[in-house]
Amino acid sequence: MSRFEAVIFDLDGVITDTAEYHYLAWKQLGTELGISFDREFNETLKGVDRMGSLERILELGGRQDDFTVEEKEAFATKKNEHYVSLIQDVSPADILPGIEQFLKDLRVAGYKIAMASASKNAFAVTNSLGLNDYFDHIVDAATVVKSKPDPEVFLKAAEAVGVRPDKCIGIEDAAAGVTAINDAGMYAIAIGADEGLSHANIVLRSTESLTIDVVRGI
Ligand code: BG6
Ligand code: MG
C-alpha cells in the first residue's frame, strides 16, 4: 500500500468509452434543436450532469431563454433516450484496456474502490460491463446536488468507503472532474490527451498506462 487507501473512479471515458455515446446523443438532440457543436465544445460537457450539459448547449445556440423548465426537462429526457438506445449493447468487451486488471490488482492490494460518476445510468452501465463486484460503493448520481466541477460526488464516495479525502486518488477524463478531485483535496490522475487536463497531478494518455505500479509510485 502507498500513502493512499482508496481509488475513486469516474465512469464515462475512464472505465468505458461511453463518453463517445454521450457526445453522439447530445449531438443528435442539438441537431433537433438547430444547434451544432464539435468535439472541442464537447470537452466542456464531459463530467457535467444532464441538465447542466443541456443548459450549456442551449447557451451555445443563444437559446437559453427560449424554453420553459418543462420543455427543457423533455429535451433532457429525449437526449437520455438517444443515449440509452446507444448503450443497449454495452458488454464486458467495452471495458477500456487495462481497467479490469487494475481493479483486480487494487482489490488484492487492499485498496477501497468507489465510483463517482455524474451519470444516472452509472449502475446500469457498470452492470452491463460486469464490473459491479469490484466496487465497494457507487455514488447514486440522483443524490448529488452540485455537479462536477463541485467536489461533492467525490467527497460522497470517500465518505461512503470511510477514507479521508487526502488518502484518496481520483481518476478522471474530464477537466471539470479533475477540478472536482483537486477541490476535494484528493490526488488527481487524468486520462487523455486533452490540454485542459494539465491541472491533474499526473496525466496518462490512455488507460493502458493505469497500473498498480503507478499507484504504488505516488
Ligand atoms: C457524465 C458524463 O459521466 O455523466 C456526461 O461525462 C453526462 O457527459 C453525465 O452528461 C450525466 O449522465 P446521465 O447518464 O445522467 O445523463
Ligand atoms: Mg468522464
Looking at all shown ligands, the one closest to residue 10's CA atom is 2
Domain that holds residue 164: 6-16+92-217
Average the pLDDT over 3-10 and give the result. Answer: 97
Determine what percent of the chain is predicted with pLDDT higher than 90: 97
Cα–Cα dist 164/166, whole Å: 6
Ligand 1 centroid, distance to 136 Cα (angstroms): 21
Ligand 1 centroid, distance to 22 Cα (angstroms): 7
Give the residue among 140, 18, 28 at the shortest CA–CA distance from 89. Answer: 18
CATH label of the domain that carries residue 23: 1.10.150.240
Are 29 and 10 contained in the same domain?
Answer: no
143 alpha-carbon distance from chain centroid: 16
Final residue of a structural domain among 68, 89, 110: 89
Cα–Cα dist 125/10, whole Å: 12
Average the pLDDT over 168-172 and give the result. Answer: 98
Q: Which atom of ligand 1 is nearest to the CA of 174?
A: 6
Q: What angle do CA 122, 196, 143 make, to 5 degrees?
A: 25
Ligand 2 centroid, distance to 174 Cα (angstroms): 5
131-143 residue pLDDT tens? 999 999 999 999 9
**What's the grid cell of residue 21?**
455515446
95-122 residue pLDDT tens? 999 999 999 999 999 999 999 999 999 9
What is each CA distance from 54 to 66, 74, 90, 162, in whole angstroms? 13, 11, 24, 34
Ion ligand 2 neighbours, Cβ < 5 Å = 10, 12-13, 173-174
Mutate to test the pocket of ligand 1, among 37, 53, 123, 191 (most ligand atoms within 8 A of CB): 53
Final residue of a structural domain among 89, 104, 119: 89
- Residue 128 inside a domain? The answer is yes
> Would you call 17 a catalytic residue per the annotation?
no
Number of domains into which the chain is organized: 2
Given pLDDT bands bounded at 50, 70 and 90, which one contains residue 1?
low
- Residue 1 inside a domain? The answer is no
Given pLDDT bands bounded at 50, 70 and 90, which one contains residue 16?
very high
pLDDT for 202: 97
Mean of per-residue pLDDT scores for the chain: 96
> Would you call 183 a catalytic residue per the annotation?
no
| Catalytic residue selected from 10, 94, 166, 173 | 10
Q: What angle do CA 93, 97, 218 make, to 5 degrees?
A: 145
For ligand 1, which residues put their CB under 6 angstroms from it?
11-12, 19, 22, 45-50, 53, 80, 117-121, 141, 174
- Residue 74 inside a domain? The answer is yes
Given pLDDT bands bounded at 50, 70 and 90, which one contains residue 195?
confident
Are 23 and 126 contained in the same domain?
Answer: no
pLDDT for 2: 74
pTM over 0.85: yes
Determine what percent of the chain is predicted with pLDDT higher than 70: 100
